Amino acid sequence: MATIRRRGNRYQVQVRKDGYKTVSATFSSVSVARGWAKAIESDMERNMYIQPKDKTTVGELLKRYTSEVIAGQRSSIASTYMAQTLDTHLGTIAISRLTPEKIGRFRDIRLKNISPASLKRELGILSGMINHAIREWGIGIQQNPVSMVSLPRMPQGRDRRLESGEEEKLLTASSELKRLIVLALETGMRRGEILNIKKSHIDFTLQTLLIPLTKTDTPRTIPLSSKAIAVLREQLRGSQNVIPIEETTLFSYMPKNVTQAFRRLCKRHKLDNLHFHDLRHEATSRFFEKGLNPVEVATITGHKDPRMLMRYTHLRAEDLVKRLG
């Protein structure tokens, strides 16, 4: 169906038909505009219309996708950074010329510097952008080339647990980092969930904590152990003179600062291959060792599928011996 609009002394024509990208052109004469539209529609009806290559670049799409889509996401900072990386490597390529071969070369280059998991996240941004551009922006390509690129085998999930004496070494950290570590071990919360804690989220009477922003976008309320309650009270006392506003987060750390401080702590004590996120794994395993069932653990940790917990559960044989009697 053709639409003709007058723009000053010129006429803009748009032709829309299922299976084709919207085609538009501008003419000085309405009769010429109508003739052009009729010819385009005729070619489309006879499947003879050849759609011109879309000259929009990957970089232009990434810029629009970042401002219109990524900006509204909770993980916008990390996603924006990945979009910038994609722009550096692929930004000058026209979307119509973005082939699986070119994406494959990008894959091979990135795997020299990042893990397969990180690469998968970057390609996820690229694939999501292309799908959005096809559906919402009428970009003239028929298939998402990312779907035709093979990805490296993903490594098995980490199963690092704390060894004897390692927790004591971690607890030599400075006061605020130490509290973050204790909360991670006592609650199984993710780094971002801990850093978003506000005073209004804590119910000291019921010993519970509301987590309104989660990775799965499902708020949850978790029970708090006596150790968790104690460190939250300590942090509140320490931050009252610095943070008088009720709705300000309790902890001053930014996510990347937690990672850096934790890495320095591990290096100082020669704790190999230990990440802050491993504390969530440790906490989850401890919940099982205390006798909680998968549904109870999932209620605390926020896993939507209890079967996913099996990856986090590594019960020590010596602890099972004690329970067997």
Between CA 234 and CA 187 the distance in angstroms is 17
What values do phi and psi take at 316, rounded to 5? -75, 135
Active-site annotation, residues: 190, 215, 277, 280, 303, 312
* 220: three-class secondary structure by DSSP: strand
Bridging pattern class, strands 23-27 and 2-7: unpaired
Contact between 59 and 92 under an 8 Å Cβ cutoff? The reply is yes
Between CA 230 and CA 286 the distance in angstroms is 19
- Residues in CB range of 284: below 8 A, 6 or more apart: 188, 297, 301, 309, 312, 313
Residues 109-124: b if buried by 16+ CB within 10 A, e if exposed: ebeeeeeeeebeebbe
What values do phi and psi take at 170, rounded to 5? -65, -35
Q: Half-sphere exposure of residue 4, counting CA atoms within 13 Å on the CB side?
A: 15
Give CA separation, 117 vs 114, 152, 153, 278, in Å: 8, 9, 9, 16
